[in-house]
Structure formats: C-alpha cells, structure tokens
Amino acid sequence: MADNMNVTLQEKDLKKVGVAQRISGVFAKILCYAFLFLIAIIVLFPFYWMIISSLKTLAEYKLPVPTLFPKEIVWHNYVEAFDAANLGTLFKNTVIVGIVSTILSLIITVLSAFAFARLEFKGKNALFAALLATMMIPGELFTITNYQTVSMFNWKDTYTVLIVPFLVSVFYIYLLRQNFLQIPNELYLAAKVDGTSDIKYLWKVMIPLALPTLISITILKMMGAWNSYMWPKLVTSNPNMELITNGLRNAYSDVSGETNFPVQMAAVAIVSAPLFLVFLFLRKYIMKGVSRSGIKG
C-alpha cells in the first residue's frame, strides 16, 4: 500500500516536472527569438535605409520627418549614379586591387603560417612573438611611415601602392597558424612516410583541412580591399586610379557643393552588391567550416 502511494506520487512529480520543463522551454525559446529579432533589426536597418533612400526623390529625402517607405519610387537614381560617376573605372580598379591583393595575401599567409606551425628553425618563437607584438601598434602610425616610404619609391598613383603595403597581415598569419596547429601531428608523419614533400603536404592535406579559415580570410581581405578609404585617398590623386569608396565621396555633389544623397545611396547599393554576392556564395562554406570543426583522426 505504502509502496503504491510512493509510485503514484513519483508519477505525479514527474508529470509536474515535465510540464514545468515544457513551459520553461517555450519561454526560453520566445526570449531567444525576441532577442535574435531585435539584433537582426539593428543589423539590417542600415541596409534598409540605404535601399529606401536610394529610391527617394531628393526633396523627400530632405523632409524633416523621414519617411520609412518612399512615396514615389525613383529608379532613375540608379541610372544617374552610373552616369554621374566614373563607376566603370572605379569598379575595375577596385576589383583588380581586391583580387590581386587577396591572392598574394593568401599565398603569403599560408606559407608563413605553415612555417610557424610546422617547420623547425632557430628563433621561430622569438620571430613569431615579434610579429605578434607589431599588432600592438595602431594602424594610423603605419600610415604615416608607409606614406613616407611609398613617396620615396615614387609609387603614388599606381596599383602597387594600393596593393603592396597591406599584403602581410599578422592577424591572418596568427589565425591560420592556430588552425594548422590543430591538425594532428600524426597526419604530417603519415604523409612523410607516404613520401610527400612539405609543400605537397601543405597543398594536399593542410590547405583542404584549413579551408574554412582560408575562406574567412579571403572574405575579410576582400572586404578590407573593397572598403578601404583612407589609404587610397592619401596615395591617389589621378581620378583614373581612384578606388570606389573615394570615387563615391565626391561624385554626386553639384556645383554648389550640395550632395545628391539619393543618387549617392543608389551608388552605394550598387557597390555593395558584389560583396553581398560573394558572401552569399561563400556562406555555405563558412557554415560547413563551423559544423565540421571536430575532425576525427
């Protein structure tokens, strides 16, 4: 009899716990989604603002109380954006600088990360510590000395000056080295026994395994090249050598110096599109990288 009561009591308790668990689960989910929704709005709002602004008339844009949707959709802004600025040249320059600097930067990063992760040489750790220490120096300080250096070389208004100074990134090397270090040592030994050279091992085993990191680096570097503003502004004066960010800055001002913001916004939207596409295309690799991080030997 007593045993029976115990059992039923326990069953009741279990039910209660089950219900409580379900309720708290639902509650947690609601909170979670609400939070994500809020963050998504904060992140997406600037893009939304860019797109609706690019479709407004200048008069509507200047209204003291901004409208959340254009009263009249002006597609013509996009045509104007293309006509007013030398967008073709700007695009071409930026693409060349972006692609070349990304490829060269990847090669340098991969090789130095491999050296720091895998090779044994005297002073390896000291050298790596010194490299890391350079990350402490603010970028603005580099800008001044870099400017002096490139002026000395007479590199102004060339692609070289836009590409070379930023090829080596200690951060990328550090990131990839850490990733390389996680690849088990046995794979290297196995590859040695299987008769591979270091370079072949790097190419056939390490790079495929570190692909997610390499893709992240590619995206970061591309975005860096695409968005860079200050350095190109400093070292280019010839409009034919300008990059897209600089070109957009002044292209849409009329004689009185007033900027036609909707047209400029349209140009910004056009310029953002390629980067957006690159991200969309590479997104699945990034996700793959996240979900495959637990490599089994």
Per CB under 8 A, residues contacting other proteins are 184, 186-187, 189-197, 200, 204-205, 208-209, 295-297
Cα–Cα distances in angstroms (integers) from residue 209 to residues 89, 108, 191, in the given order: 38, 18, 14
Closer by beta carbon to other proteins, 197 or else 250: 197
Is residue 253 helix, strand or coil?
Answer: strand
The least CB distance from residue 6 to other proteins, in Å, is 39
The tokens for 104 are 């060269």
The tokens for 264 are 């400029």
Closer by beta carbon to other proteins, 126 or else 193: 193
The least CB distance from residue 196 to other proteins, in Å, is 5
Closer by beta carbon to other proteins, 128 or else 188: 188
Is residue 259 helix, strand or coil?
Answer: strand
Closer by beta carbon to other proteins, 274 or else 289: 289
The least CB distance from residue 283 to other proteins, in Å, is 20
The least CB distance from residue 198 to other proteins, in Å, is 10
Q: From CA 266, how far away is CA 269, in angstroms rounded?
A: 5
The β-bridge partners of 259 are 253
Q: From CA 157, how far away is CA 159, in angstroms rounded?
A: 7
CA angle 133, 139, 143 (to 5 degrees): 125
Closer by beta carbon to other proteins, 51 or else 187: 187
Virtual torsion, Cα 207, 213, 215, 217, nearest 10 deg: -110
The least CB distance from residue 281 to other proteins, in Å, is 21
Q: From CA 105, how far away is CA 168, in angstroms rounded?
A: 6
